[in-house]
Amino acid sequence: MSNKAKGSKAERELLDILTQNGWRAARVAGSGVNDNSPCDLFAAKMGKRGFVIEAKSSKKSNIYITKEQISDFVLFSQMIGLSPAIALRFNREGWFFINPNQLKDTGKHFAVSLETARNEGKRFGQFFE
C-alpha cells in the first residue's frame, strides 16, 4: 500500500471516529496533493467549536511535517475561524490529538515523537469533548 493510500485510509478512519461520536465531518478533496488544500478534514458539532484537522500517521516513532505545511494550515484555520488540530496515529497506539504549538521545531520541519504524543497529546474524548 502506498503512503498516499495509507494516509487516505487513516483520514477515513478518523472521519468514521468523528461521525460515530456525533460530529459532522468531511474530508477535503486533494489534501496533501496540492497547495490548495491546507487541511485534511473539517469537523463540527452543535454546541462545540469547529476544527480543521491535519491527520498524520506513521509506523515509526516520529512524525515530521514541513514548516510551510503547518504555517499554511494554521493561517487557514485563522482565516475561517476554526481551531487547528493535529491528529496523530502511530501503529498500534491509536489516535492522539495536539495543537500545532505542541510540535517541536527541528530546523527544516516540525516533529512530534510517540513519546511526546503519549505524554502531551490527548485522546479523542479529551480533545473533542
Question: Domains in the chain, ordered, with CATH?
Answer: 3-128 (3.40.1350.10)
Burial of 122 (0-12, 13-18, 19+ CB in 10 A): middle
pLDDT digits 0-9 by tens, 9-60: 999 999 999 999 999 999 997 665 556 779 999 999 999 999 999 999 999 9
pLDDT digits 0-9 by tens, 50-79: 999 999 999 999 999 999 999 999 999 999
Residues involved in catalysis: 31
Instruction: Note if the pTM is more than 0.75.
Output: yes
What does the block give as the cell for 31? 489534501
**Residue 89 binned pLDDT confidence (cut-offs 50, 70, 90):** very high
Alpha helices in the chain (DSSP H): 3-20, 67-80, 114-120, 124-128
What does the block give as the cell for 28? 477535503
Instruction: Determine the pLDDT at residue 54.
Output: 97
